[in-house]
Each structure stands twice: as structure tokens, then as C-alpha cells.
Amino acid sequence: MNRTAAVERSTRETTVSVKLDLDGSGAGNIATGVGFFDHLLTSLSYHSLIDLTIETEGDLYVDDHHTVEDTALVLGEALAAALGDRSGISRFADARVPMDEAVAEAVLDVSGRPYAVIDLPFTTERIGNLTTQNIAHALEAFTRTAGLTLHLSARGANDHHIAEAAFKALARALRAAVSVDPRRLGVPSTKGTL
């Protein structure tokens, strides 16, 4: 089973290239120009065991919004393409991940129905060169093109820890949800399609 994808998108604001292997080892090669976003996506790759190569050139002279959003949109498209009709996957998963004083919980349905409920209580405007407001926006964009239902929440006192725990929890849930269940024949839905 070849569960890989390569997706590119080019606009006047960004050029994004994503290569993804769902059955990888967690190797991440991420370069968006937004350092803390690269850090979060590297954690996502590593802890989900999804090999991920992302190259983004964006209009960072404006701000980080277009770069972060478009990267997330293309990442979601690549995930959806690699999943195909989603036959044989576990589909549902959840994970809780601590990072020092912070703890995050991700509950995921790889359903084909995009919906995101994000509750990340940041208290600062930026972490490095990433606007904290764009973290939830990126997660929403990712779920939209990937076709995921995601409930992601965290609590803590340090914004870096909150964000990193959230992405690690998402990674662990994603790893479980997209894993192939050897007992599952066909699409994991009583409707016969996702």
C-alpha cells in the first residue's frame, strides 16, 4: 500500500510544496521561514511517524499569516490525497500529551467531514516569529482540506509549552487514526463511504 502524496500550490502570496508519507519514520524536513511554525510541524512529523517535507516561500515582509495558512492548507490536501478513500484506517483516535506545566488533548475523526474546535489559551501575541492567533487558524485550515474533525484543547502557563503539547497531541492522535487496522476491511463507516 503506497500512502504517499506530493502537493504544490502557488499564488501571488506563497509557493508551497508538501511531500508526505503516512507510513514513514517521522522524518521531517520543514522550511517555511517561520521558525516556531517549523518547530511545531517538525514535532507533528516526528510524533505521528509521518515523513514530511515542506518548503514554503511566502510574503513574510507582510506578516506570517499567508505563509502559515497556505502551508496548512497544502499539508491537509497532501494528507487527504495520501489517505485516498480511507479504506482500512482506524479512523478515530485521541491523545493527551503533557509538556511541563501544560497538557493538551486531541480527539480526532478522520471522517472526511472538516470541523475544528480549538481551545488554546495563549496569553502572548507571538512565539518567536509566529503569531499565536495563526496557530488556531492553521489547525482549522489543515482540518478543512484534510477532511478531519478535530477537537484540540490545552491548558498551561507557558505559550511555547501549550503550542508544542497541542501539536504533539495532534500528532499522536493522527498516528493512531490513520494507522491501518488489519481487521478493518474497506472504509470504516456503516455508510460505506467517508
Q: State pLDDT tens for residues 48-63.
A: 999 999 999 999 999 9
pLDDT at residue number 68:
98
pLDDT at residue number 83:
97
**pLDDT 10s digits, 92-111:** 999 999 999 999 999 999 99
The rounded percent of the chain whose pLDDT value lies above 70 is 99
Pairing of strands 14-21, 115-119: unpaired
Question: At 147, which amino acid appears?
Answer: G
pLDDT at residue number 190:
65
CATH architecture of the domain covering 4-177: 2-Layer Sandwich (3.30)
Q: For residue 188, is pLDDT > 90? A: no
DSSP characters over the chain: ---EEEEEEE-SSEEEEEEEETTS---EEEE-S-HHHHHHHHHHHHHHT-EEEEEEEE-TTT-SHHHHHHHHHHHHHHHHHHHTT-TTB--EEEEEEEETTEEEEEEEE-SS--EEEEE----SSEETTEETHHHHHHHHHHHHHHT-EEEEEEE-S-HHHHHHHHHHHHHHHHHHHTSB-TT--S-SSTTS--
- Confirm if 62 and 34 have CB atoms less than 8 A apart: no
pLDDT at residue number 152:
98
Domain boundaries, the chain: 4-177
Q: What is the pTM of this model?
A: 0.95
Q: Which residue has the higher pLDDT, 152 or 183?
A: 152
**pLDDT 10s digits, 13-33:** 999 999 999 999 999 999 999
- Confirm if 9 and 48 have CB atoms less than 8 A apart: no
Q: For residue 191, is pLDDT > 80? A: no
Angstrom distance (rounded) from CA 42 to CA 155: 22
Q: For residue 186, is pLDDT > 90? A: no
